[in-house]
Structure formats: C-alpha cells, structure tokens
Amino acid sequence: MTGPIEQGTSRTRGSAHILTFLVRLSQPMEKVWPQLATPEGLARWFTEADELQPRLGGAVTLRGLGSGRITAWDVDRIVEYTLEDGSRLRFHLERYGEDGATLRFTHEFRDGAESEQRWRARFERLVELTEPQGSRAPDPDATA
C-alpha cells in the first residue's frame, strides 16, 4: 500500500458494478464513525444527507444519489445505505494498530455513473478531515 488509500478494485456481477476501497486512518473508529453515519459528517466529505434516521431500517436520503433505508447498523463499526435504485454503500470500520481504523468500503450500483477516481477524491477529503496535520496511520505490516 502506498498512502492511506489502497488502489480501488472494480468488478461486475451480472448488471451490478461493485467498487471496493480500503482506507487506513490514524484516528480510532469512534472518531471516524461520525463522518460516516451523521448528516454533518457525510456533508463534510461526501454529500448532504437530507434525511438520516440513525438505526437499522431508518430512512436515508443522500443528495444526488437518492432515498432508501439503512440496511446495516452496528454503532462505531458498520453502516450500509441501500437506495431505491438498488445501489448499496457499505462502510465497515475495523481497528488498525493501536489507535487507528481501517475503512472497508463497498459501493454496488447498476449504472456507470460512479468511478474509482471520484471515490478516491472523496476518501482523500475524508483522510484530511480525520487525520491530524502531517500524521499518517502507522502500518503494522511494514517492515523496518
């Protein structure tokens, strides 16, 4: 891995496109979670959430993407937004090292409107918001 954002992967299954990313952050899961699961947090790096009921089955409306339901909700760990058009955005946080978090992201969608490049730019904004200036998540897998 070079930097906190690993190369995204894309694959097609039937008519669905599946884009995945792995993002390493130096902040703990509890500090990253609000950026993924609150209207204020999402607006800072991704898009406005005109409606977000923070619970399993809660309504969600993501500006420019559509409305739907929260289909997975595990506080400080997992949130999944499934929209009426069948697209799905899943944010899964895991501990990383002593004080960091790993974000495993999956976006499943039907049309070709999304791209790896657009998500990479979004994740770069997320990294800027959650990382102290000049700091990067230590890589526990790195060799000295």
Give pLDDT tens digits for 119-128.
999 999 999 9
Q: What pLDDT does residue 8 have? A: 79
Model confidence at 137: pLDDT above 80:
no
**Nearest of 144, 139, 127 to residue 1 by alpha carbon:** 139
DSSP line for 20-71:
EEEEEESS-HHHHHHHHHSHHHHHHHT--EEEE--STT-EEEETTTEEEEEE
pLDDT mean over 41-51: 97
Range scoring the smallest mean pLDDT among 10-19, 35-44, 46-55: 10-19
- Answer with the residue of higher pLDDT: 137 or 109: 109
Q: What is the pTM of this model?
A: 0.85
